[in-house]
Amino acid sequence: MKSFLLKNKSYLLIGFFILLGGFLTDQKLLESEISECSGLVVSSKNDDLMWVHNDSGDEGRVFLIDNKTKIIAKYLFKKEVIDCEDIALYTPQSGRAQIFVGDIGDNNAQRNYISIYKFDEPSLSVKSSTELSVKNVTELKFKYPDGARDAECLMIDEKDQEIYIVSKREDSVAVYSAPLNSQPNKIITLKKRIKLFFPGEKGSKGITAGDISRDGKEVIIKSYINVFYWDRQPNETIPQCLKRAFIGLPYNPEKQGEAIGFLKDGRSYYTISEGKPRVSFKKI
């Protein structure tokens, strides 16, 4: 991994994470309902709670799980989804936080458009074994300017009010964006911003998740085998940030590890895997 680290004097940060012992590290998530977890985002109000979802084959729903990886509640957002692959959170200065579920998977690159479903973050105080319903769900529809493609990475930049999607399968993946306030129920063409090359063998280097910290200062993207980190500089856009050298964080690949998300401080994050999911808590 060291061969992939490009030194930059602005990076005084040591590129490694520490697996924490104790209450959360690598505990098993036993609930069979989340057997194909593909996305996670930490709650806006409690770092010990996170929203997760399955990928293709499940209905439109999200799960609230706690720091012991137990299901607190299940919420249906009652949309006919195709392949939900990532989830993000937006915390406006006033009003309730909003969840964005990215129905952006397209293994065969044949969809006419992809969808992102937006709704207010449900209450964290509700504990229920039955499925609850989300109200007022907004669908944002997008298409790519250069043809359909598969993607599993959805990020929201609260600083510049932009939605970012990173494609998955190309040797050099592409980063696309759209305004956070894009018009609902109308197919919007994404803007292609940059292409990025990441190390790894074909088939294992696919980009599976990403996140931008709440303050917009940290960016993290993961593949099946690597985790990449950027310390965003003042006045940089996300594309400008991603053009700079990444820091590769040591990572023990998880079984179908397809999700990553920052905690509120932007200095620690969770990852989660598919199959019999394991949640890990790491610090940068």
pTM: 0.88
Q: Which stretches within the chain are classed as H helix?
A: 238-243
Query: Order of strands, edge to edge, in the sheet holding 131-133?
Result: 37-42, 50-54, 61-65, 71-76, 131-133
Distance (Å, rounded) from C-alpha 241 to C-alpha 264? 20
* 125-179: pLDDT as tens digits: 888 778 899 999 999 999 999 999 999 999 999 999 999 999 999 999 999 999 9
20-54 per-position pLDDT tens digit: 333 344 344 445 788 889 999 999 999 999 999 99
Distant-in-sequence, close-in-space partners of 244: CB < 8 Å, separation ≥ 6: 8, 230, 233
Architecture field, domain 2-283: 6 Propeller (2.120)
| Residue 35: C-alpha distances to residues 46, 52, 81, 278 (Å) | 24, 11, 17, 10
Q: What are the backbone angles phi and psi of residue 241, rounded to the nearest 5°?
A: -60, -45
Paired tokens of 105: 């998977």
Assess whether pLDDT exceeds 60 at residue 85: yes
